[in-house]
Amino acid sequence: MLIKKYPNTLSMPRACRLFAGVASVAVLLAGCGQKDEKAAPSQVLAKVNDGEITVMQLNGVLRGAGNTADQALAKQNALDYLVNQEILQQKAAELKLDRDPDVMQAVEQAKRQILAAAALSKLQAKAGEPGAAEVQKFYESNPALFSQHATYEFTMFNLPVAQLPGEVKAAIEQSHSAAQTKQALESMHQAFQEKTSRVAADQLPMDLLLQLFKLKAGDILVRPEAGNVMLVQLVRVEGSPVSLADSKERIVAYLKQTAEQESANSKLAELKKAAKVTYLKRFANNAAASAPAAAANGLSTDTVNSGLKGF
Q: What is the DSSP secondary-structure string of 65-87?
A: H---S-HHHHHHHHHHHHHHHHH
Residue 33 within a domain: yes
pLDDT confidence bin for 29, thresholds 50/70/90: very low
Say how many domains are in the chain: 3
Q: What is the mean pLDDT of residues 128-157?
A: 95
CA dihedral 163, 165, 168, 173 (to 10 degrees): 70
pLDDT at 63 over 70: yes
Residue 231: Cβ-neighbour burial (10 angstroms; 0-12, 13-18, 19+):
buried
Task: Mark whether 98 and 175 lie in a shared domain.
Answer: no
CA dist 55 → 39, 62, 105, 169 (Å): 10, 10, 29, 63
Residue 310 within a domain: no
Residue 2 within a domain: no
Residue 287 within a domain: no
pLDDT confidence bin for 125, thresholds 50/70/90: confident
Least confident of 64-78, 153-167, 244-258, 289-303: 289-303
Q: What is the pLDDT of residue 38?
A: 52
pLDDT confidence bin for 13, thresholds 50/70/90: very low
Task: Mark whether 94 and 207 lie in a shared domain.
Answer: no
pLDDT at 173 over 50: yes
Q: Is pTM, for the whole model, over 0.75?
A: no
Task: Mark whether 188 and 271 lie in a shared domain.
Answer: no
d(CA 96, CA 139): 56
Task: Mark whether 184 and 227 lie in a shared domain.
Answer: yes
pLDDT in tens, 222-240: 998 888 999 999 999 999 9
Residue 38 within a domain: yes
pLDDT at 150 over 80: yes
Task: Mark whether 112 and 233 lie in a shared domain.
Answer: no
Q: What is the pLDDT of residue 128?
A: 86
Contact in structure between 65 and 75 (CB atoms under 8 Å): no
Task: Mark whether 93 and 164 lie in a shared domain.
Answer: no
Contact in structure between 61 and 152 (CB atoms under 8 Å): no
Task: Mark whether 49 and 158 lie in a shared domain.
Answer: no
Task: Mark whether 204 and 91 lie in a shared domain.
Answer: no
Q: What is the pLDDT of residue 183?
A: 94
Residue 213 within a domain: yes
Domain that holds residue 89: 14-123
Residue 9 within a domain: no
Task: Mark whether 232 and 155 lie in a shared domain.
Answer: yes
pLDDT confidence bin for 132, thresholds 50/70/90: very high
More confident call, 72 vs 124: 72
Least confident of 28-42, 44-58, 149-163, 250-264: 28-42
Looking at residue 260, its amino acid is E
Residue 286 within a domain: no
Task: Mark whether 47 and 63 lie in a shared domain.
Answer: yes
Residue 251: Cβ-neighbour burial (10 angstroms; 0-12, 13-18, 19+):
buried
Task: Mark whether 69 and 207 lie in a shared domain.
Answer: no
Name the nearest CA neighbour of 170 among 310, 311, 305: 305
Task: Mark whether 64 and 98 lie in a shared domain.
Answer: yes
pLDDT confidence bin for 42, thresholds 50/70/90: low
